[in-house]
Amino acid sequence: MSESKNYLAYTESIDQVKAHFETDLSQGLSSQEAAKRLESYGTNEIQEEERRSTFQKFIDQFKDFMIIVLLAAAAISAVVGISQGEGITDTIIILIVVLLNAVLGVFQEAKAEEAIDALKKMSSPLAHVLRDGDVKEIKSTQLVPGDVVLLEAGDVVPADIRLVEASSLKIEEAALTGESVPVEKNTDALENPEAGIGDRYNMGYSSTNVTYGRGKGIITGTGMETEVGHIAKMLSSTQKQLTPLQRDQEALGKTLTKAIIVVAVVTFLIGTLLNGMGIMEMLLVSISLAVAAIPEGLPAISTIILSLGTQTMADRNALVRTLPAVETLGSTQVICSDKTGTLTLNEMTVEHVFHDDQLFAANQDLDLNSHFIHSFVLPNDSKVDNDGKIIGDPTETAMVKYAIDHQMDYKGLLADYPRIDEVPFESDRKLMSTIHKLEDGRFAVYVKGASDQLIQRATQIEINGQVRPIQEADISKIQEQNESLAKQALRVLAGAYKIIDQVPATVNSETVENDLIFTGLVAMIDPERQEAKDSIRKARNAGIRTVMITGDHAITAQAIAERLEILDPKAADNSSHVMTGADLNEISDEELAKNVANYSVYARVSPEHKVRIIKAWQANDKTVSMTGDGVNDAPSLKQADIGVGMGITGTEVSKGASDMVLADDNFQTIVVAVEEGRKVFSNIQKAVQFLLSANLGEIITLFVATLFGWVILKPIHILWINLVTDVFPAIALGMEKADPDTMKYAPRTKEDSFLSFGIFPSILYQGVFEGAITLLVYWYVDIHLGLEHTLAETMAFITLGLQQLFHSYNVKSVFKSLFSSNPFDNKYLNLAFLGSGALLFGVILIPGINGFFDVHNPNLEQWIICIVASFALVILTEIVKFIFRTTGLADKYQSIPHLDD
């Protein structure tokens, strides 16, 4: 006997399975044999790889390239500060930023391990098992392959089991399959070895729930050899993808570092070799230039902007677990969504009824005191608690809710028609019957179940209160209606009744379920969310493809996809855009990647299939979001660029594997979060444009000054400008409102970066303007007017710093005029301007401090020169923006194609 995932117990007969696992159905395993197998196979629990210590995780955070650059900047800043006697304030700030990022990284990595922990908690603590011929209750961790386990309603299945007995047994497997309706189980061997989990009716799977009946089975897999264990292995092996933000930051850091080194070296060589400046003097200038060029505040500013985004999303029911996920949402190109509970309501609902020879919509009035309605709500085990909540099987609760919604007094009906006996539902005959005592002393038999089974037992039909013999024409019409409703993916049940004078001595199917009077059909479905339909349309207009991935049947998935307009409801070839798990098994990963765009619906899929679909889209360089609520969704949630779990119906496993959790389980919230993500990226771009153009202005100022042999700014001036005029305005730009057109354009691709969409040319010309204006003011004062050199340095310092504050308003839009809307609508930016301006002017106006910074207080005329020169940057930028707009260059740079174009 060997336990293996390759052994397909569901295709074997009971005798074959019993022989394979060398067990006895009446005695079970002996204690000695069980102990031997426990030693061989190990305990029945989820294992996990050895985890790295918190310290190891912390050290790993410093391997990021941008972090290395920042550490180098901290060291350089320390050298400059100490050599100039100016302290190491800038160094301390950079190190705080680095440590903050490291702590956040460790926290996020710890979150990612929650999925495995949650899987372990799902297992049943105890199990009823046959050992040595007796039924014993033992810890489920001690179960072994070959053990014979007993199941009853309320149990958690303790391991993977091949059923050998199933009496009205139903198991809820939504965590593994996504299906909202419990599965009716039997013991028949299956012929199809490719049958998915949801079609293996003779199996019970670890951590699923028994909702009805009882059963008995042989354990075929324990621990990591169960389906849940297989998912745990996938979770451990799945590598989380770098987010677009992380890729952008890494690429930007490498590019900037190379450019900075080149500029610093060239500046040093020009100063020493061409202009004859001292080596130490030029070394300090070059280091100052390098410090000026590094946007050391960018990681912190990005973190703050992302954190603000998480707060906004939380207010709109999207709980973000990892900060980079905020921005990743904005670049989402494909949303792969589970069906049940996300796109649908996750509750069976009556949609149509067929009675009195007519088809009615569920919202049309009906006679509550009719045999038709009684034939569905009386043979029904649903309960209504004190809070009015209906408890029971989803199909049965749908019928009771339908009656209550039509103002039926359900509890009163049960009191008026007391149940005195029943024939329980069995999967073989697919019927349930109950017997109720009537006021006149007679008894009513009500039956509900599968239409094809019930129609064979009906000899009469009731139409408009009149009972007559059922005819072939009646049967044909009933069958036509049944088929028509079934093609719409509706679950159809039939009802019937009869009145008897006395209860049979033996109550069973043969004595009760005959000579029935047919009453009608009820058609149910787990309906689509209306808001999901609207959101899918909005996502489509924003260039985002919605793909449904579900464990449900293909016909149901296709019907829901058509109703949601994931598939064109008017198209005749929608079935060609639906792929099943069996179809996926027939094609390679390469073939799937090549054709993945042809399919919008995947049905009857396994956890491996979901991961393959995600990878296929990613192979096409698409940023993919995956939504899910079950254990089976966890590997694909982790594989996706952003995994979205369900807060209400989601398992702890799926939440642990997710980057974001929907507090309301609503697809609409995903689209809202995408919009917020786009705003976040746009605001980070604004911060990047602001910081890099300001830093470029500083580089040009120092580089050109070196070429001319000017000493224009001291290192302390550059450090102070970077400290007070960079950080606060950049953070305030992160609080800009979303562009009202943000969801009218397709998402950015993986080739796009922080510098795309006109940002790069804007940085270039704005940086050139900043440097040129600063140099012009210095030249005018020092060379043209021949005033004191310290005054010229002071005015250059004021002009450079004040320009950057004015410039923060320029970057509110790349190409739109600042004055096309209220330029002061961001109160945080206004406060940043005033606060940073106060800090900038404070070092000039406050006695003692201005001496430390080696600056003079200019007179009124000189202040006006600095202010007018600084504001000129706004005028020049407006002129260039106008040229970009009128020449069509703006459209070229912003060529994110509108979906309606």
Q: Quick check: 591 pLDDT over 60?
A: yes
pLDDT, one tens digit per residue, over 432-476 is 999 999 999 999 999 999 999 999 999 999 999 999 999 999 999
Give residue 893's pLDDT: 75
Nearest to 477 by CA among 357, 371, 361, 373: 357
Identify the band that residue 2 occupies on the pLDDT scale cut at 50, 70 and 90.
Answer: very low
Whether pTM exceeds 0.85 = no
Structure tokens, 476? 């044909």
Residues 179 and 161 sit within 8 Å (Cβ to Cβ)? no
Residues 172 and 214 sit within 8 Å (Cβ to Cβ)? no
Residues 391 and 397 sit within 8 Å (Cβ to Cβ)? yes
Nearest to 514 by CA among 496, 490, 540: 496
Higher confidence at residue 728 or residue 501? 501
Give residue 237's pLDDT: 61
Residues 185 and 110 sit within 8 Å (Cβ to Cβ)? no
Give the total residue count for the chain: 901
Residue 778 CB partners (closer than 8 Å, separation 6+): 705, 710, 712, 792, 793, 795, 796
With 0-12 / 13-18 / 19 or more C-beta atoms within 10 angstroms meaning exposed / middle / buried, residue 864 is exposed
DSSP per residue, 122-190: HS-SEEEEEETTEEEEEEGGG--TT-EEEEETTPBP-SEEEEEEEEEEEEE-HHHH--SSPEE---PPP
Higher confidence at residue 291 or residue 713? 713
Higher confidence at residue 359 or residue 244? 359
Nearest to 872 by CA among 780, 810, 781: 810
pLDDT, one tens digit per residue, over 863-882 is 999 999 999 999 999 999 99
Give residue 826's pLDDT: 93
Cα distances from 759 to residues 331, 346, 752, 801, 815, in angstroms, run: 17, 45, 11, 21, 10
Residue 330 CB partners (closer than 8 Å, separation 6+): 674, 676, 677, 678, 679, 680, 681, 682, 747, 748
Give residue 112's pLDDT: 43
Percent of the chain at pLDDT above 70? 86
Going by their DSSP bridges, the two strands 209-221 and 148-152 should be labelled as antiparallel
Q: What is the phi/psi pair of residue 804, to 5°?
A: -65, -35
Structure tokens, 336? 């792969």
Residues 632 and 95 sit within 8 Å (Cβ to Cβ)? no
Give residue 49's pLDDT: 55
Mean pLDDT estimate for the chain: 85
Fold of 9-45+120-227: 2.70.150
pLDDT, one tens digit per residue, over 804-824 is 999 999 999 999 999 988 999
Give residue 666's pLDDT: 83
Give residue 116's pLDDT: 44
Q: How many CB atoms lie within 10 A of CB 555?
A: 15
Residues 491 and 523 sit within 8 Å (Cβ to Cβ)? yes
Residue 280 CB partners (closer than 8 Å, separation 6+): none
Helix (H) or strand (E) holding 415: helix 410-416
CATH topology match: 248-313+675-893 vs 328-345+529-665: no
Known active-site residue 338 = yes
Give residue 3's pLDDT: 47
Identify the band that residue 310 occupies on the pLDDT scale cut at 50, 70 and 90.
Answer: confident
Among 338, 393, 629, 726, the active-site one is: 338
Q: How many CB atoms lie within 10 A of CB 65?
A: 14
d(CA 678, CA 288): 35
pLDDT, one tens digit per residue, over 576-588 is 999 998 899 999 9
d(CA 892, CA 423): 73
The ranges assigned to domains in the chain are: 9-45+120-227, 248-313+675-893, 328-345+529-665, 366-510
List of E strands, 364-502: 383-384, 390-391, 419-426, 431-437, 443-449, 458-463, 466-469, 491-500
Give residue 519's pLDDT: 97
CATH code for the structural domain at 248-313+675-893: 1.20.1110.10
Give residue 899's pLDDT: 42
Q: Quick check: 274 pLDDT over 80?
A: no
Nearest to 313 by CA among 673, 626, 681, 658: 673
- Checking 530-534 for CB contacts under 8 A at 24+ apart, the result is 531/666, 531/667, 531/668, 532/342, 532/343, 532/344, 532/564, 532/666, 532/667, 532/668, 533/563, 533/564, 533/565, 534/668
Give residue 263's pLDDT: 78
Helix (H) or strand (E) holding 198: none
d(CA 349, CA 588): 39
Task: Give me the amino acid identity at 390.
Answer: I
Residues 632 and 607 sit within 8 Å (Cβ to Cβ)? yes
Residues 176 and 338 sit within 8 Å (Cβ to Cβ)? no
Q: Where are the alpha helices (DSSP H) in 652-788?
A: 652-656, 667-708, 715-725, 727-733, 759-778
Give residue 897's pLDDT: 45
pLDDT, one tens digit per residue, over 21-63 is 999 998 999 999 999 999 999 888 876 655 566 666 677 666 6
Class of domain 328-345+529-665: alpha beta
DSSP 442: -
Going by their DSSP bridges, the two strands 516-525 and 491-500 should be labelled as antiparallel
List of E strands, 485-633: 491-500, 516-525, 545-549, 578-580, 601-603, 624-628
Q: How far is CA 222 from the centre of its chain?
A: 30
Residues 606 and 613 sit within 8 Å (Cβ to Cβ)? no
Domain with residues 366-510, CATH architecture: 3-Layer(aba) Sandwich (3.40)
Q: Which of 527-536, 562-571, 632-641, 651-660 has the lowest mean pLDDT?
A: 651-660
